[in-house]
Amino acid sequence: MTDVTLSSKNPTAVKAEALVVATAQTSDGVAVVSDLLPTDLLTQLESLAPQLGVTGARDEVRKIPAGPQLAAEVLVLTGLGERADDGTFATETLRRAAGAATRELAGLESAAIALPASDDDEITAVTEGALLGAYAFNRYRTTGKDSAKDATKAAKNGKDPVATIEILTPLHKNAKAKAAAERAQVLAAAVHATRDLVNTAPNELYPATFADAAKAAAKDVKHVRVTVLDDKQLASGGYGGLTAVGQGSSRGPRLVKVAYTPAKPNAKVALVGKGITFDSGGISIKPAAGMEAMKSDMAGAAAVLSTVVAAAKLNLPVAVTGYLCLAENMPGGNAQRPADVITIYGGKTVEVLNTDAEGRLVMADGLVSAVEDGHDVVLDIATLTGSQMVALGTRTSGVMGTDEVRDEVKAAADASGELFWPMPLPEELKSNIKSKVADVANSGPRWGGMLNAGLFLQTFVGDHPWAHLDIAGPAFNEGGAHGYTAGGGTGVGVRTLLTFLEARATAK
C-alpha cells in the first residue's frame, strides 16, 4: 500500500521523482492550476502546453522533464477539464485527476502532488484519488526468465504502484485534514482489498478459500468476529438457495458472517453480498465469449467484507454485520435444473426457471437471515443482472428498495464520488416473477430484468427498511483504465457503503 503524508513543502524544492500539477481547459487554451508554483513557471508551462499536446482534458496525463526550476525529476500534468461556473472544480474531478496521475507513476519510489488542496474536502478528494490510482495486481506475473523480450514485457506490465506520495497543502498540520488523510488510507485499503479478491483467479478463490480470506482480513481487527456455515450446515439449516446453486460444484457453498460490534453502537446495519466465485450459468450455461469475466461475480461479497473491516478500523459507532453468500455455479452432474423447486431459508419456495439467475437465490438466504437477526436496515450489493448494464451502462450502478433507504444510498454515493442511479420497483411488474407451482419464480421476461430481480429480492425482506445495489457492470472494468480506476476489479460500492455507515453512525 502506498504511503501518503501531508506536507507544506514548496513544490519547486520538493525532491521527489515526480511532481504532479493540474491543468484545465479554458476558452483561451490551457491553464496550469496551482497556488503554489511561481507565476513565471506557470506562464512558461501554459505557453508550452500547445507544443506539448497538453489540452487539460479530464484523464489526460503528460510527463515532461522538470527543468532547472524544479527539484523533482519529472513534471506530471494531469487534466481537470473545465471549471464549474463558480470557478472551482468538483471534488470528484480532483479525485479523478489525482488517480489518473498516480496510475502513470507505477515503478517510482516517490511523488509529490500539488493539486488544489486548500480545504478538507479537497484534501480528502486528492488523497483518495491518489491512493485509489496507486493500485496494481501483479500476483500472477512471472519474472520472464525465458527471454530478454519476456523479461522486458514483465517489467513493463508488472510495475508496483508508486511507493510514497506527499500531498502538498497549506493545511498539513490541520487536525481535520490529517483525519481526512487517515480515513482515505483506510478507505483505499478497503477498495484495494476488494479489487484483489475480484482479480483473483477462480481456481484459487472459491467458497472455502473466500471464507479463509474473510478470517484473514478480520484477524487482529478489534470487535470483529467471523463465523462460517459450511455446505453441510447450510443444507441441514434450510439454506436452500445456497445449497441449490452450489450443488453442481465440487466446491461446496458457504455463508460467512462478518460481524463488527462496537461497545455502544448508534445503529445496527446488515450488508448482504453476492459471492458467486465463478458463474458458468449452471445448466443454463453462458456463452463462452467473455465468460472469464465471471470470476468477478463475487464482487458484492468482496465489497461487504472490506467495508465491515474498514468500519471497524475507523471505530465507527455502528454495528455492522456482513453476510457473504458464497457459491460456485457449475453445470455438474448434481447441478440444479430448470423446473426445480427449492425452499429458501425461512420457508418460501422458488421455482427455478433459469439456473443463470442464481445470484438472487443465494442472496435470498442471506436477506432472510439478515432480517431475522434484527438490523435497523438491510443493504444488499450484487453483480446481479445484465439488464443493469443495458439500462445504465458499465459505470453507473442501480439502486432500488424502500424509498427512504434508496435515497439515503444515493446520497452516500454522491458524497463518495460513486455513480448510482435510483430505480423503481413497479407494482405492475410483480406478475413477471409469479410461478405456477411455487411462491415465486427466479426469472421473468427480458424487459425490466433489473427491476424483476429487485422485486424478487424484495419478496424476502418484506416491508423491512432495505435497498438493493446492482453493480453488475461497474464492478469489473473490461475496458481501458480511466481516472483512478484500473482494469479488472474496481472495488465499486465500498465507498458508498462506508459513507452510508458513517452517516448512520452520526444520525440522530
Instruction: Please give the positions annotated as active site.
Output: 286, 360
Instruction: Tell the residue number behind the cell numbers 472495488, with chain if given.
Output: 491
Identity at 327, one-letter amino acid code: A
CA pair distance 349, 52, nearest whole angstrom: 65
- Facing residues of 469 across strands? 381, 399
Dihedral angle over CA of 486, 489, 490, 496, nearest 10: -170
Nearest residue to 325 via CA among 356, 294, 365, 358: 365
C-alpha grid cell, residue 28: 483561451
Q: Between β-strands 397-401 and 319-329, what pairing exists: parallel, antiparallel or unpaired?
A: unpaired
C-alpha grid cell, residue 159: 510495475
Distances (CA, A) of 214 to 132, 222, 274, 285, 493: 22, 14, 14, 29, 18
Distances (CA, A) of 201 to 230, 326, 406: 22, 15, 33
Report the chain's terminal Cα–Cα distance, integer Å: 36
**Burial tier of 165 (Cβ tally within 10 Å: 0-12, 13-18, 19+):** buried
408-412-418 Cα angle (round to 5): 130
CA pair distance 274, 358, nearest whole angstrom: 10
Contact assessment for residue 375 and residue 318, using Cβ atoms and an 8 Å cutoff: no
Dihedral angle over CA of 35, 38, 42, 48, nearest 10: -150
Q: CB under 8 Å to 170, separation ≥6 — which residues?
A: 8, 118
- Buried b or exposed e, range 291-303, using 16+ CB within 10 angstroms: eeebbbbbbbbbb
Contact assessment for residue 379 and residue 501, using Cβ atoms and an 8 Å cutoff: no
Contact assessment for residue 155 and residue 138, using Cβ atoms and an 8 Å cutoff: no
385-389-395 Cα angle (round to 5): 120
Q: CB under 8 Å to 10, separation ≥6 — which residues?
A: 36
